[in-house]
Amino acid sequence: MKRIAVLITDLFEDVEYAEPAEAFRKAGHAVVTVSLTKGTTVTGKTLHSKVHIDQAVKDVAVGDYDALFIPGGYSPDKLRVDPAAVEFVRSFVSSGKPVLGICHAAQLLISARVLQGRRTTGYVSIIQDIKNAGAEFVDAEVVEDGNLLFSRNPKDISAFVRASLRKLKE
């Protein structure tokens, strides 16, 4: 059993949270939602699903978790303005522990300035941003580079979940 921090806020892409989170829990992992404020509820952008927030990002540390999962939608755009959220992502990437992201998730890694020289993928709208951050953009359903495991969009979710579950076993 691994402890997975999910960094999420309003306007997340509903299925990009719900399907991986369910699969991680079914596989026996603990999923802990982390956002700007503890005890609130955040709302998805498409299906308007609600997610309860377990922890505030300012109160958590990389040492408390085995992996980080960042769903997409516009949640990463809203989180990247928060210095604690960006620092949490930076620390996680540096730790070598798995960082699993999909869609717009790479925006947080861009703000954390940890993509230089890495290979990754993301939603089509942020391809130029990924390249400008010094990363090699790869157009594939799952792109792994060291501890980073990223996918492009909701169509990649099945492959993302399979690859993530394998990575969590390593």
- Name the catalytic one among 85, 103, 130, 143: 103
Closer Cβ to its own copies, 15 or 67, answer by number: 15
Per the annotation, the verdict on 103 as an active-site residue is yes
Does residue 110 bind its own copies (CB under 8 A)? yes
Structure tokens at 170: 């390593």
Q: Do residues 51 and 75 touch, judged by C-beta distance below 8 A? A: no
Tell me the window of 26-34, 59-67, 95-103, 110-118 that interacts with its own copies (CB under 8 A): 110-118
Does residue 107 bind its own copies (CB under 8 A)? yes
Please work out, in degrees rounded to the nearest 5, the angle formed at the alpha carbon of residue 167 by the alpha carbons of 166 and 170: 95
Q: Which of 54, 66, 87, 129 binds its own copies (CB under 8 A)?
A: 129
Does residue 42 bind its own copies (CB under 8 A)? no
Closer Cβ to its own copies, 33 or 107, answer by number: 107
Does residue 125 bind its own copies (CB under 8 A)? yes
Interface ranges with its own copies (CB under 8 A): 74, 77-78, 80-81, 107, 110-111, 113, 124-125, 128-129, 132-134
